[in-house]
């Protein structure tokens, strides 16, 4: 009698765990798709950030700043005599 | 497994029930023809025959079952593999190369995604009518594209155009020409362009470092592409992502010790000097004295790392690290340090340099003019070759060789930059009779600009030599090579060079004491001996009290006929001055020579009063200077522009 009970329990447990495996596998795939999507979004953002950095660096290129400051803004570097030393 | 059981069952049932009649009857009908034909000598026994047939069938079943068991359980990997190969695919996950930034986090090399358009020739050639359209999109002649496709007609992959912007690739894809696809790749951009090209180097089309730091730190910068498993349908579309096999590892970022602003200054000033003196090439190196960090390293001629097509190969060399020059007079401070360290002379010992030349074997050592009796300090101030040679002759060969070698001459600086040159420093057993005397003023040995910068940084650092580094945070071990007092003494002597009466007053920076030494070396001619081409050098450290920067400028083959001179003082020293003045300001280094500054200011004030007809001019401005004042400074019609800077 107890042997049959044990068998039933084991069969039931088997079915339950089998369903569990199916479920876990499904969850795994769903989550994997989700993580792939998020990673892709992250990568896109990273790439966009890199491009913006690149753009900023291109605008801030020393040569360009130098020329804009001199030509468009009419700035110049102070001569030694134009610098005033202030003593506290 | 299930069909195997099914096979076995009916057979077991037939036997178990012991009622073979139905099948017996049908078998009898099957063999009916045999019954009718009389056969002599053979006794017909249906039971035996049934056993035979049944047994054969059973054996076949067992064989089949056995084979099925073998294929499905014992040796199943082959078919598992075959099945997976048709549906499962491992596809790579592309990843980008790490970014290189300067010491303040400004990007110097950035990878951005680009698209490479490719075609499947087999598929594309089925739609020949669309090739002209595609050729137009790609900007190539149609017959050229047709020929290329024809050559690869049996292939499934062919690049049409690599590394174009995503928008451009999308325009091609929008036409939906069959067999045309696009894939993502990464391309490297260098916002600083040619100013930093030699230090950074570049990568090839597969994103592997080829030169410079891109090569040296390739493993660190390069990411490892990951892989994932997907299920694909018959058309090759991805139906489902199944598993992540290996996550993609993006490349690590690299922070350099380079300061973008100082680098640009060095590059700009070096270029200006090269143009002004019609020189062929040049290098400039700026080191942080305390840490050995390379703050700037500029070379000319340069190239655009964003567009490597064409261009001269020799423009790609990082001359500051790979090319050797004879150090000329920049060697003298080391010679004099050797003489002082030996205890045979003091800074005030008199060296008689008259008559301004000296026999040295078959050669004659010449001074610019006859300086007469000089102190040891005077030998540096006036850059006397005779004086340096006489000091070196007081020292033993071995002692002098070891002393010079301590400064890193003749060995790799150890910065980790690929292709570092060791320079040439012969050991005493290879010396000819005259070699020590010529080495004393910088001939007969060769060094790279970086080696000179390291040696001068050691003099400025109280005699502690630190191997240079390009990576922020990496600090190489300091090595005590001379006594701090001795280093200070030599530095004080070198300070006289940039002061009134020295050979490089062009290197003086208002508000700071500068210690430096000019050098002018004649170049070897290809025919042998020395040509009439020169190398102009200046090496210096600033400020003398608590030195921060060590800088070396080398200008190759300045044209003396341009009328600006060819020596280190005329050609290289102004580059040093302009770059260092900027660097001191950028790095907020407090001036160590306020007095000169105040004196200069008083002079300027007096001049202004004179120009104003003797009337006093408004004194120093009141802080804070408003924006209006600052903008007014650009207008020549307004009174003297005043900028606030300096002491705080």
What's the total number of domains in chain B? 4
CB B107 within 8 A of CB A54: yes
Residue of B329, B384, B446, B550 marked active site: B329
Residue B449, domain member (yes or no)? yes
How many other C-beta atoms are found inside a 10 Å radius of the C-beta of residue B640? Answer: 14
Rounded to whole angstroms, the Cα distance separating B384 from B371 reads 8
- Shared domain for B266 and B247, answered yes or no, is no
Q: Is B26 among the residues known to form the active site?
A: no
Q: CA angle at residue B328 from B325 to B334, to 5 degrees?
A: 110
DSSP assignment of B323-377 equals --B--GGGGHHHHHHHHHHTTS--TT-EEE-TTSEEEETTEEEE-SS---EEEHH
Which of A36, A70, A81, A88 is the mutation pick for testing B, counting most B CBs within 10 A? A81
- CA of A48, closest CA in chain B: separation in Å? 9
Asked if residue B137 and residue B71 are part of one domain, the reply reads no
If asked whether residues B20 and B128 sit together in one domain, one would say no
For the cut 90, the answer to whether the pLDDT of residue B145 exceeds it is no
Looking at residue B16, what is its pLDDT?
45
Judgement on whether residues B176 and B192 belong to the same structural domain of the protein: yes
Do B163 and B240 belong to one domain? yes
Whether residue A32 and residue B243 make contact (CB cut-off 8 A), yes or no, is yes
Please name the member of B113, B243, B594 whose beta carbon is closest to the beta carbon of A85.
B594
Do B538 and B621 lie in one domain? The reply is no
Return the CATH number at B132: 3.90.1310.10
Asked whether residue B131 falls in the same domain as residue B225, the answer is yes
* Average confidence (pLDDT) over A27-52: 84
Examine the domain organization and report whether B248 and B264 are in the same domain.
no
- Whether A5 and chain B come into contact, CB under 8 Å, resolves to no
Q: Higher confidence at residue B38 or residue B403?
A: B403
ipTM greater than 0.90: no
Decide: B146 and B125 in contact? Cβ < 8 Å: no
- Out of B107, B240, B640, the one facing A29 most closely (by C-beta) is B240
Structure tokens at A35: 């993580």
Is there a single domain that holds both residue B60 and residue B176?
Answer: no
Residues B240 and B126 in one domain: yes
The string of pLDDT tens digits covering residues B567-588 is 888 889 999 999 999 999 899 9
Residue of chain A nearest B631, judged by CA positions: A75
Structural domain that includes position B25:
2-75
The DSSP string of B469-526 is: BSBTT--PPEEE-S-HHHHHHHHHHHHGGGSTTSS-GGG-BTTB--EEEEEEEEEEPT
* Whether residue B256 has pLDDT greater than 90: yes
How would you write B332-346 as a 3-class SS string?
Answer: HHHHHHHHHHCCCCC
Are B191 and A73 a contacting pair at CB < 8 A?
A: no
Please give the pLDDT value at position B430: 85
Nearest to A80 among B228, B600, B641 (CB): B600
- pLDDT category of residue B615 using cuts at 50, 70 and 90: low
A27–chain B nearest CA distance, Å = 11
Cβ contacts (< 8 Å) between A66 and chain B: which residues?
Answer: 264, 268
Query: What are B345-356's pLDDT values in tens digits?
Result: 888 889 888 888
Per-residue pLDDT at B85: 73
Same structural domain, B440 and B558? yes
Residue appearing with tokens 């050669």:
B363
- B254-255 and B281-288 beta bridge pairing: unpaired
B169: in domain:
yes
> pLDDT at residue B436 above 70?
yes
| B335 or B11: which leads in pLDDT | B335
- B-chain CB neighbours of A53 within 8 Å are 99, 107, 110
Question: Is pLDDT at B15 greater than 60 in this prediction?
Answer: no
Whether B540 maps to a domain, the answer reads yes
Q: Which residues contact B110 (CB under 8 A, 6 or more apart)?
A: A50, A53, A54, A57, B99, B188, B189, B191
> Helix axis angle, B332-341 relative to B484-495, nearest 10°?
140
- Does a structural domain hold residue B505? yes
**Helix or strand run (H / E) with residue A13:** helix A2-59
- pTM of the predicted structure, to 2 decimals: 0.76
Spatial contact of B452 and B552, defined as CB atoms under 8 Å apart: yes
Residues B641 and B554 in one domain: no
Compute the nearest-CA separation of B263 from chain A (Å): 10
Q: Is residue B608 part of a domain?
A: yes
Considering only the beta carbons, identify the residue of A50, A53, A62 that sits closest to B261.
Answer: A62
CB B350 within 8 A of CB B373: yes
pLDDT tens digits for B478-523?
Answer: 888 889 999 999 999 999 988 888 888 888 888 899 999 998 888 8
Q: What is the CATH number of the domain that holds B371?
A: 3.40.710.10
- Which residue of chain B is at minimal alpha-carbon distance from A25? B242
- Report CA B288 to chain centroid distance, whole Å: 19
Query: B112 vs A83: CB contact, 8 Å cut-off?
Result: no
Do B339 and B345 meet the contact criterion of CB atoms below 8 Å apart? yes
Domain extents in chain A: 2-75
Nearest CA in chain A to B595: A85
């Amino acid at each position: 009698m107890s042997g049959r009970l044990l068998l039933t329990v084991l069969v039931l447990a088997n079915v339950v765990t089998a369903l569990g495996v199916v479920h876990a596998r499904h969850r795994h795939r769903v989550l994997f798709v989700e993580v792939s999507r998020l990673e892709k979004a992250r990568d896109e953002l990273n790439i966009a950030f890199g491009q913006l950095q690149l753009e900023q660096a291109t605008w801030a290129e020393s040569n360009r700043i130098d020329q804009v400051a001199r030509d468009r803004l009419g700035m110049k570097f102070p001569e030694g005599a134009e610098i005033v030393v202030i003593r506290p | 497994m299930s069909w195997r059981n099914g096979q076995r069952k009916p057979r077991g049932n037939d036997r178990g029930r012991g009622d073979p009649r139905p099948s017996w009857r049908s078998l009898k009908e099957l063999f009916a023809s045999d019954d009718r034909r009389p056969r002599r000598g053979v006794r017909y026994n249906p039971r035996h025959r049934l056993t035979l047939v049944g047994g054969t069938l059973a054996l076949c079943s067992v064989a089949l079952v056995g084979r099925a068991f073998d294929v499905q359980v014992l040796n199943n990997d082959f078919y598992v593999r075959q099945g997976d190969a048709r549906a499962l695919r491992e596809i790579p996950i592309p990843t980008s190369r790490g970014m290189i930034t300067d010491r303040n986090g400004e990007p110097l090399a950035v990878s951005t995604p680009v698209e490479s358009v490719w075609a499947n020739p087999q598929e594309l050639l089925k739609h020949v009518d669309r090739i002209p359209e595609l050729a137009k999109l790609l900007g190539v002649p149609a017959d050229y594209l047709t020929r290329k496709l024809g050559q690869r007609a049996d292939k499934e992959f062919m690049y049409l155009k690599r590394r174009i912007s995503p928008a451009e690739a999308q325009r091609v894809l929008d036409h939906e020409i069959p067999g045309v696809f696009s894939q993502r790749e990464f391309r490297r951009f260098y916002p600083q362009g040619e100013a930093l090209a030699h230090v950074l180097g570049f990568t090839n089309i597969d994103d592997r470092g080829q030169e410079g730091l891109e090569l040296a730190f390739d493993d660190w910068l390069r990411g490892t592409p990951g892989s994932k498993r997907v299920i694909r349908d018959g058309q090759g579309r991805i139906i489902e992502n199944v598993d992540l096999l290996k996550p993609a590892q993006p490349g690590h970022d690299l922070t350099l010790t380079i300061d973008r602003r100082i680098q640009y200054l060095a590059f700009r000033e070096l270029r200006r000097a090269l143009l002004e003196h019609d020189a062929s090439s040049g290098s400039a190196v700026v080191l942080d004295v305390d840490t050995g960090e390379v703050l700037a390293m500029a070379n000319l001629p340069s190239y655009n790392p964003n567009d490597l097509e064409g261009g001269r190969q020799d423009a790609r060399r990082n001359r500051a690290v790979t090319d050797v020059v004879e150090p000329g007079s920049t060697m003298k401070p080391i010679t004099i340090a050797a003489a002082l360290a030996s205890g045979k002379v003091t800074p005030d010992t008199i060296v008689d340099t008259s008559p301004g030349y000296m026999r040295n074997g078959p050669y004659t050592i010449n001074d610019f003019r006859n300086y007469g009796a000089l102190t040891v300090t005077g030998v540096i101030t006036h850059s006397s070759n005779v004086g340096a040679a006489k000091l070196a002759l007081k020292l033993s060969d071995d002692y002098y060789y070891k002393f010079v070698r301590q400064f890193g001459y003749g060995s790799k600086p150890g910065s980790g930059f690929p292709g570092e040159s060791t320079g040439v420093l012969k050991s005493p057993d290879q010396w000819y009779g005259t070699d020590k005397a010529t080495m004393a003023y910088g001939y007969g040995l060769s060094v790279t600009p970086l080696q000179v910068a390291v040696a001068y940084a050691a003099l400025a650092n109280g005699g502690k030599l630190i191997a240079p580094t390009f990576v922020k945070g990496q600090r190489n071990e300091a090595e005590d090579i001379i006594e701090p007092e001795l280093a200070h003494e030599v530095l004080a002597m070198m300070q006289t060079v940039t002061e009134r009466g020295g050979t490089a007053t062009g290197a003086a920076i208002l508000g700071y004491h500068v210690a430096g030494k000019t050098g002018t070396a004649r170049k070897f001619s290809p025919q042998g001996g020395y040509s009439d081409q020169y190398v102009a050098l200046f090496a210096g450290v600033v400020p003398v009290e608590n030195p921060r920067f060590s800088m070396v400028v080398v200008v190759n083959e300045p044209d003396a006929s341009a009328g600006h001179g060819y020596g280190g003082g005329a050609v290289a020293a102004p580059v040093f001055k302009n770059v260092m003045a900027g660097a001191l300001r950028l790095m907020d280094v407090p001036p160590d020579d306020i007095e000169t500054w105040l004196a200069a200011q008083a002079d300027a004030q007096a001049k202004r009063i004179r120009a104003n007809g003797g009337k006093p001019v408004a004194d120093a401005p009141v802080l804070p200077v408003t924006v209006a004042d600052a903008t007014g400074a650009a207008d020549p019609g307004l009174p003297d522009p005043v900028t606030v800077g300096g002491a705080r």
